[in-house]
Structure 1
Amino acid sequence: MATYIIGDIHGCYDELQSLLTQAQFNQNTDELWFTGDLITRGPKSLETLRFIKGLGDTAKIVLGNHDLHLLSINEGIFPNHKKDNLTPIFEAPDCNTLLTWLRFQPLMRRHPAFKFALVHAGVYPRWSLKKAEKLAKEIEVQLQSENYKQLLIDMYGGAPCSWSNNLTGIKRMRFIINAFTRMRYCLPDGSLDFKNKLSPEQTNNANLTPWYEAITLKPNRSILFGHWASLMGKVNKSNIYGLDTGCVWGNSLTMLRWEDKKYFSVPSTIK
């Protein structure tokens, strides 16, 4: 049995299949863990959703910002833009089945044996993994409730950008969602900057610190994440792994086999 962790797919279904073939993935014995953002902008978002859902318990995913936005579009909160290539999902006979399945996915997963945490954007540096898991479940309860649409309406925006245990209501929910699905840089006071999408090498602002450089983990704990395509997987910490290598932007799709830390990669077919 092997455990594979795959970066943001964004509808790049053909590349996903090539990656699984390259690694000789066995659906009967192996597991696939996905960093979220399964859909949007790539050519085959519908096929990607159907395939991953069809894997059943073999697939373990977390929600990304684009996955949540897909749910919002489906509820009429935002328009469906042609550039996102999502229309086939909304026109599919199994649309409701697929999106209900998506809505019931978590923001964070922890592997029981390997002690790694899987998230889309990251773990807020001032949270322990235990606290992060508890806060993620607060969102999951709301997202899976009958009143989930209100959460989707209220989650947009960058405020508050700082965490406090005293936050309540939508301010609390919004910060938690933003930390798990949109975070890249932190400021010295612990607040989050959502504007800068560049890699640290491209950033000259000394006040901005990548979240993964600000967090402290126990030696036997690890975090795997996606979201930050401009990093191209370059994270200078031995127990934190960035897996989004920008397939939808014409770069590559990357997968890590956890047991031996071997990487697999296929070039994007998007030009």
Structure 2
Amino acid sequence: MATYAVGDIQGCLEPLLHLLEQIDFDPTTDKLWVAGDLINRGPRSLETLRFIRDLGDTAEVVLGNHDLSFLAVAEGFQPMRDGDTLEDIIRAPDCEELCHWLRQQKLVHHDESLGYTMVHAGIPPQWTIKKALRRAAEVETVLQDEQRYQDFLLHMFGSEPRVWSKNLKGQDRLRIITNYFTRMRFCDADGQLEFQAKSGPDSAPKGFKPWYKIKQRKTRENRIIFGHWAALQGHADAANVFALDTGCVWGGHLTIMCLEDQTLYSCACD
């Protein structure tokens, strides 16, 4: 039995299947952690979503920004953008079922026995793992609530507020929690977000750093798996953080890591 974590698949099903064959993945005994952005931009978003869904308890999934954007598109709250590959899912007879399944997934997954936490983008410096799980649960509860999830998706988009306060309420509170976990790259020591810079760590604007490089970060001793940041190419220069988005959908690689021994497996993506 082994546990594997994979970075952003984004609808690139063939490289995923190739990697699973390479590691001799057994869904009856092994586990697959998926670090968000299951779909969009790649060629087989519908099949990828169905494949991960059909793994059942074998898969642990956290939501990424593309997954949440798809839910908003499916509800009619956002138009598809250039480059989106969501039409097949929208037109699929099981679209509603797939949306429901996505809404049941987490923003943060923590396994105490393995000693890893998985999130799509990152965890802000001011939060411990315990606090991050509590904040994630606030959004997860709303997403799973049939009476509230549409209002959340309608107001989800936006870059304000940019810093957490325990006094935040309503959609502002839910939005910044979501942005931390699914969109963050750079922030300052107080957790103030910066969204303009999207390339490598050296592109940080003055006063900002990659979230995992903040010295005061309360999760420095915790092992964190994340995706989202393809420009890192799998290299986060900090202890206990594992960057698994290696830009498959952009012609890079898809990467899987075995959690038990931290062995990396990769597949070139054409």
How far off its partner does 1:81 sit? 3.8
Superposition RMSD in Å: 1.2
| Corresponding residue number in structure 1 for 2:150 | 149
Within a 5 Å distance, the mapping from 1:171-186 to structure 2 comes to 171-186=172-187
For structure 1, the 5+ residue unaligned runs are none
SS at match of 2:83: helix
SS at match of 1:105: coil
| Corresponding residue number in structure 2 for 1:166 | 167
Aligned identity (percent) is 48
| Superimposed CA distance per residue, residues 71-104 of structure 1 (whole angstroms, 9 cap, x where no aligned partner) | 0000001113462111111111111111110011
Separation (CA, whole Å) in 1 of partners of 2:204 and 2:59: 39
| Corresponding residue number in structure 1 for 2:106 | 106
Separation (CA, whole Å) in 2 of partners of 1:76 and 1:238: 42
Q: What is the letter of the counterpart of residue 211 of structure 1?
A: W
* Cα distance, 1:67–1:204 mapped onto 2, change above 3 Å: closer
Q: What is the letter of the counterpart of residue 21 of structure 1?
A: E
Within a 5 Å distance, the mapping from 1:227-238 to structure 2 comes to 227-238=228-239
**Is structure 2 residue 125 aligned with structure 1 residue 120?**
no
Separation (CA, whole Å) in 1 of partners of 2:28 and 2:233: 31
Q: What is the letter of the counterpart of residue 22 of structure 2?
A: Q
Q: What is the letter of the counterpart of residue 223 of structure 1?
A: I
* Cα distance, 1:149–1:187 mapped onto 2, change above 3 Å: same
Within a 5 Å distance, the mapping from 1:3-42 to structure 2 comes to 3-42=3-42
* Cα distance, 1:228–1:204 mapped onto 2, change above 3 Å: closer
| Corresponding residue number in structure 2 for 1:49 | 49
Separation (CA, whole Å) in 1 of partners of 2:46 and 2:224: 28
How far off its partner does 1:238 sit? 2.3
How far off its partner does 1:218 sit? 5.9
Separation (CA, whole Å) in 1 of partners of 2:229 and 2:170: 28
| Superimposed CA distance per residue, residues 205-244 of structure 1 (whole angstroms, 9 cap, x where no aligned partner) | 342211011123364x211000011001111122111100
| Superimposed CA distance per residue, residues 158-182 of structure 1 (whole angstroms, 9 cap, x where no aligned partner) | 0000111111111111100000000
Separation (CA, whole Å) in 2 of partners of 1:204 and 1:156: 23
How far off its partner does 1:204 sit? 5.8
| Corresponding residue number in structure 1 for 2:132 | 132
* Cα distance, 1:196–1:82 mapped onto 2, change above 3 Å: closer
| Corresponding residue number in structure 2 for 1:245 | 246
TM-score for both structures, normalised by structure 2: 0.96
Separation (CA, whole Å) in 1 of partners of 2:122 and 2:4: 18
| Corresponding residue number in structure 1 for 2:74 | 74
| Superimposed CA distance per residue, residues 20-75 of structure 1 (whole angstroms, 9 cap, x where no aligned partner) | 11111111110000000000010000010010001000000000000000000000
Task: Tell me, yes or no, if the aligned pair for 2:36 and 2:61 is still in contact at 8 Å.
Answer: yes
How far off its partner does 1:189 sit? 4.1
| Corresponding residue number in structure 2 for 1:62 | 62
TM-score for both structures, normalised by structure 1: 0.96
Deviation >3 Å, runs of 4+: none
SS at match of 1:84: coil
Q: What is the letter of the counterpart of residue 257 of structure 2?
A: L
